[in-house]
Structure 1
Amino acid sequence: MVFTACKKNSSDEPTTPVNNNKGIQLATDAKFGSVLTDKDGKTLYFFSSDAAGIPTCTGGCETTWPLYYSADASTDLNLNKAEVGEVTRADGRKQSTYRGYPLYYFAGDAAKGDVKGDGVGGIWFVAKPDYSLMLANAQLVGKVNGTSTNFTNTYAVGDGKTIYLTDNKGRTLYAFAPDKNGLNTYTKGATQEGIWPVYESEVLNVPSAVAKTDVGVITVATISKKQLTYKGWPLYYYVPDINRGDNQGFLVGKTPGSVWPVLQLNATVAPAQ
């Protein structure tokens, strides 16, 4: 008997798929749904202390939360490219942003698809393209007699960060103290809405520190608009908050925070109608 050896055709050899992804990508997570990742599928994060769009994770913080930057335009056809940007940090390095939020990695994510950094400290969250609310962890600042003054979360003069709600681009949201649960008592018409516009949004997704069951939508009949609520409190903007991260509306009224408080994460439920 004669045996002949056959050389395996090179086309039969297993091949490693080529990753042609560039820039920010979208991935689907079983728990969080759509999340932002780098080109290799590694999860990206938002930092609540960066609500103003300025990177505040510096020094030792970067050991745990390395910054993410890519000069490449995203190749993901499902990503809204208009929301992608970049910021130059104080030390001159560039950092990619989404909706103005600087993007970071979490050092504890060892593998593609890990989301172990979500919820760390109550201020780090997976970066998602579809949050309807975000959280700021920031100093309350307002002008008193023309002087910029810091306030605590109890509206006393002093230093200390407050965790409060913003829209998905870092704009501060407020409650109107006379409102009732699910009832806007302020907006009588479009002209009155001028300085305190309602926050229009559907209930999409929220950071994991926010209970989605605490978020709702009401219809403001006087202006025929939908308004998002948190713990029953209708949510408003303050027009003089010109810059992202501004939160000076709490000073409107005789006593700071008595009429137009920022909507803090630990707010009590709005009173019944």
Structure 2
Amino acid sequence: MKNLINQLNLMLLLAALITISACGDDNEEPAAEAGSMIGLYEDATLGSVLTDANGVTLYVFANDVAGSSTCLDGCLDSWPIFYATEAELASGLESDDFGTITHSNGSKQTTYKGWPLYYYAPAGDGEIEAAGSTAGEAAGNVWYVAKPNYTIMYANAQLVGSDGKNYTSTYEEGEGATAYFVNAEGRTLYIFVSDSKDVNNYTASDFSNDGIWPVYTKTIDAVASTIDVADFGTIDVFGETQVTYKGWPLYYYGQDTERGDTKGVSVPSPGVWPIVNRNIEAAE
């Protein structure tokens, strides 16, 4: 009889352990799902902003224009990596705009339109900011909230001409990052020094040279918050609507094939086709 009681007690103990284990699994699943969502938050100042499942703001880094994360080591204490696997997307977001890269530290990171995504940790201790906060916006003029409707974004990187040489912001050979405008997908924008205020002096009437320096025709929507949208305008170029900035007509360079390429800065010689940033003088 004693052996029978011991066997019954053992069976009850095993059943209890199985029940506890099953309950533990049920509790873990929702936590995993909670991180697999990318939403939109409507900020009163900044408009639509990408967030995680809990409404915490996501950011992009101007230095990452080439598509890989350049936030390394201690930088990640203030700007932790965001990663959501097979994320559910809020209405208005397109799955084709999202991707995944592997950070140099081995971590997976979600990208949006090629830009790696981050959180902001104000104290630099990895503790991310509260939901609905956008305190990291424009930090160092290189960190910006991720938005679904950017037309113009800021890049900050080394200028490298088509000749393979590195250039500074004054178009002399040398090392150092320069800030410049790119479109939402990281393609560089230029001006032509022979243009004048609201006048395109480059494009042929039949657009036969447009493949070399295509005119920039995108309708301006959201821009990085450190850029004044009022500085943009448009002109008519043989029936095409070209965007201007401070009166300068804007162009792409046809040979810029990769994100962040700045090959045009050395064509046909350095400084003839400068990059664009908010510090350029208005056209005359």
TM-score range normalised by the length of the shorter chain = 0.7 to 0.9
Q: How does 1:166-181 map to 2 (within 5 A)?
A: 166-181=182-197
Which amino acid counterpart does residue 282 of structure 2 have in structure 1? Answer: V
Q: When you count helix as a share of all residues, which structure comes out higher?
A: 2
Query: What letter matches 2:227 in structure 1?
Result: V
User: Contact 1:202–1:217 at 8 Å: present in 2 too?
Assistant: no
* 2:162–2:267 Cα contact (<8 Å) kept: no
Q: Which of 83, 88, 113 is the equivalent residue of 2:97?
A: 83
Matched, 1:138 2:157: yes
Query: Which contiguous aligned blocks of 4+ residues in structure 1 show a shift greater than 2 angstroms?
Result: 18-23, 72-75
User: Using the alignment, how far apart are the partners of 1:62 and 1:92 within structure 2?
Assistant: 13
- SS of match in other structure, 1:193: coil
Question: 1:33-44 counterparts in 2 under 5 A?
Answer: 33-44=47-58
Q: Which residue of 1 aligns with 2:276?
A: 263
CA contact (8 A) 1:162 1:264 kept: no
Deviations along 1:165-198, whole A, 9 cap, x unmatched?
1111111111011112222221122211111111
Using the alignment, how far apart are the partners of 1:39 and 1:215 within structure 2?
A: 35
> Partners of 2:138 and 2:250 in 1: how far apart?
24
Aligned to 1:11: none
Q: How does 1:1-273 map to 2 (within 5 A)?
A: 22-108=36-122, 110-144=129-163, 148-188=164-204, 189-220=206-237, 222=238, 224-253=239-268, 255-257=269-271, 259-271=272-284
Q: Which segment is superposed worse, 194-203 or 18-27? A: 18-27
Distance 1:134 1:268 in 2: 19
Q: TM-score, length-normalised on structure 2? A: 0.83
Aligned with 1:190: secondary structure? coil
CA root-mean-square deviation:
1.7
Shift of 1:218: 2.2
Query: Gaps (5+ residues) in structure 2?
Result: 1-29, 123-127
Aligned to 1:159, what secondary structure does the other structure show? coil
3-state SS, counterpart of residue 170 of structure 2 = coil
TM-fit CA distance, 1:84:
1.2
How far the C-alpha of 1:74 sits from its partner, in A, is 2.3
Find the aligned partners of 1:74 and 1:134 in 2 and give their Cα distance: 25
Secondary structure (helix, strand or coil) at the match of 1:82 reads helix
Higher CA-based Rg: 2
Report Cα offsets for 1:190-224 as digits up to 9, x if no partner.
2111111111211201111101111222222x2x2
**Separation of aligned partners in 2, 1:184 and 1:23:** 45
SS of the equivalent of 1:238 reads coil
Mapped partners of 1:67, 1:210: distance in 2:
26
Contact 1:28 1:35 in 2 (8 A): yes
Return the letter of the residue paired with 2:138.
Answer: G
User: Number of paired residues?
Assistant: 247
Q: Secondary structure, in 3 states, of the residue corresponding to 2:82?
A: coil
Distance 1:212 1:246 in 2: 24
1:143 Cα deviation after fit: 4.6
Q: Is the 8 A contact 2:80 2:120 kept in 1?
A: yes
Distance 1:84 1:267 in 2: 33
Distance, in Å, in 2 between the alignment partners of 1:49 and 1:102 is 10
2:125 aligned residue: none
- Any gaps of 5 or more consecutive residues in structure 1? 1-17
Q: Is the 8 A contact 1:203 1:217 kept in 2?
A: no
Q: Which amino acid aligns with 2:39?
A: Q
Q: TM-score, normalised by structure 1?
A: 0.86
The answer to whether the 8 A contact 2:160-2:265 is kept is no
